[in-house]
Each structure stands twice: as structure tokens, then as C-alpha cells.
Amino acid sequence: MDRADRVFAYGATAGLLADALLADPRRGHPVALFGRAASAVERRLFHDHRGWGALHTALCAGGATAVAALAARAVRPHPRAAVALTAATTWAVVGGTSLVREARLIGAALEAGDVAGARRLLPRLCGRDPEALDADALARAVVESVAENTSDAVVGALVWGAVAGVPGLAGFRAVNTLDAMVGHKSPRLRRFGWASARLDDAVGYPGARLTAALAVLAGPDPRGALRAWRADAHRHPSPNAGPVEAAFAGALGVRLGGTLAYGGRTEHRPVLGTAGRAVRPGDVERAARLSRRVGALALVAGAGARLAAGAIRGRARRATTGQGGAGA
């Protein structure tokens, strides 16, 4: 197998372990630095036009990917440095530990009956309007956010890392961050953020399907997860959140979706996992544990696929070399 395949496997494993041990830094996070740079570019380029938004997306996402590619190229001759760069980049772009930590804080507040405290914590996890939510509605918002962000913050990055190494890791996180910044459908950003939102849908597609599949394998009710994924995923307005949330709903035996509020506007979404029960505060911990199992399996899948592909390529090269030598 190629050295690059081992570099990704070792580096991604080290990076995910670093996330488990260190989580995200409170200050100076590389993704936050990228966000500030993207905001500066937005201030200079903003026009209420799709073309200008596409330019913003190309400059920011393309720039981050190019810098990562140059860094990967610089360390390629040095295996230890290449592993270290892959590990650092993996740690920087995945956020599974912070996701689970924030979810558990809200879950603990709900279990203690501190609904007001849970409302104060919710904006750190998702953009819902918390004031009108009771304990069960808060728990549902947390479970939905855990499900969706397991794909966005962990699995999707590992998928693109397995495909393209350090540039894939950085490029995925750049696109996902841009979507969070400008891709939502506010009146101001409806046209400018269109390119970021559509690109995020495209790059998130494989990770969302892998997340759903791993939720089927790792969840307490595999049949329920598969059934909900097949029956309900297409009903969600997001092509990527639908499979993930439906699979989590079926795996946990709960109902997700329904009425929710973002930024003063109300949405009525179809129910996912219609055979399940209403979400309760105790389900937050169950969702957090499922997220952790899915993230670990995604690492195994990504590193294993990369190593297997490298082994196949190596055998093919040896066979070709042998045939060439025999013919000579």
C-alpha cells in the first residue's frame, strides 16, 4: 500500500484521539480564524447576487483547500511530519467531543428540571429560538442537532479526508463553515449564500449517507433505523439532514421533526420516525452515545477503505510489473 494511505490512517486516528482528549480550544480555533477571514472577504464582496456569492465561496473554500494542499505537499517527503499534519488538521476540523459535551450539558440541565438553564445553553449548539420550548421540545432540538452535526462535524470530514487527505479535510470544513455563515435563507443572504448552500449539499452528500448507515449499525434498533431512513428521509427539506435525522430517530425509537422556530420564523417540518415516541430529556444522552459510536465507526471505515484501496493498488502494480518483466 502507498505511504500516503498509512499517513492518513495514522494521522486521522491520532487527530480523532486528540479531539476526544482536548476537544476544541476556547480561543484561537483554526476554524474560527477561517471564519473571521471569510467574514472579511464577505464585507468586501457582498452584493445581493448569486455570482458574487459564488466568487466568495470559490475564494474562501478554494483558498483554504489550496493552503492545505501546499502544506501537504511540503511535508510529503517526511512521513512523521505528514502524519503530524494530518493529525493536526483532523483535530482542527472535527468537533465530535465539543458537540457531545454541549449536548450533555443541556441534557443534564433538563434532567435536573432546569429548563431556563437549558434554554440559555441551547444557542451554543443550534440556532433554534429557545424561549418558547418546553423540556421535551428542547430535548428534541438537541437530539436533532446531535444527529445532523455528527455528519457535519465528524463523519463528513473523515470521508473527504479518506478521499483527498489534508486538502479534503480542510476543504470540507471550509465549505461547511461557509454554509453556516451565509448559506441560511435569510432575506439578506438568500442570493449571496446560494452557492455556499448548494456546495455544502454536494460535499455533505456522502458523509450524510455514511452517517445514516452507521447509525443503523451502531444504534439500539437497527431495523427501526433502517425503516425510518427509507420511509421518512425524503420528507425532510434538507437532502443531507433527512437521512441522518431519520436514521437517528429510528435507532433511538423517537419522533423528530415537527414545528420549530429559527430567527423569528416558524417552520412546520414532517415528522421523522413516525413509529417512535416523543423525545424525552433522557434521550439526549442516548443520542450522544450513538454519535460517539458513529464517529468511531466512521474512522474505521475511512481508514480501512483507504488502506484497502492502497493494498489493491499495490497488488495491481506488482501484477503489472510482473507481466512487463515476463514479456520482456
Helix (H, G, I), strand (E, B) or coil at 23: coil
pLDDT, tens only, 146-205: 999 999 999 999 999 999 999 999 999 999 999 999 987 788 999 999 999 999 999 999
pLDDT, tens only, 211-237: 999 999 999 999 999 999 999 999 999
Binned at pLDDT 50, 70 and 90, residue 101 comes out as very high
Give pLDDT, residue 298. Answer: 98
Q: How far apart are CA 262 and CA 128, in angstroms?
A: 5
Q: What angle do CA 277, 144, 120 make, to 5 degrees?
A: 105
Going by C-beta distance under 8 Å and a sequence separation of 6 or more, which residues neighbour residue 165? 4, 7, 8, 72, 86
pLDDT tops 80 at residue 262: no
Going by C-beta distance under 8 Å and a sequence separation of 6 or more, which residues neighbour residue 5? 306, 307, 309, 310
Indicate the pTM of the whole model. Answer: 0.93
pLDDT tops 60 at residue 327: no
pLDDT, tens only, 48-97: 999 999 999 999 999 999 999 999 999 999 999 999 999 999 999 999 99
Percentage of the chain beyond pLDDT 70 is 96
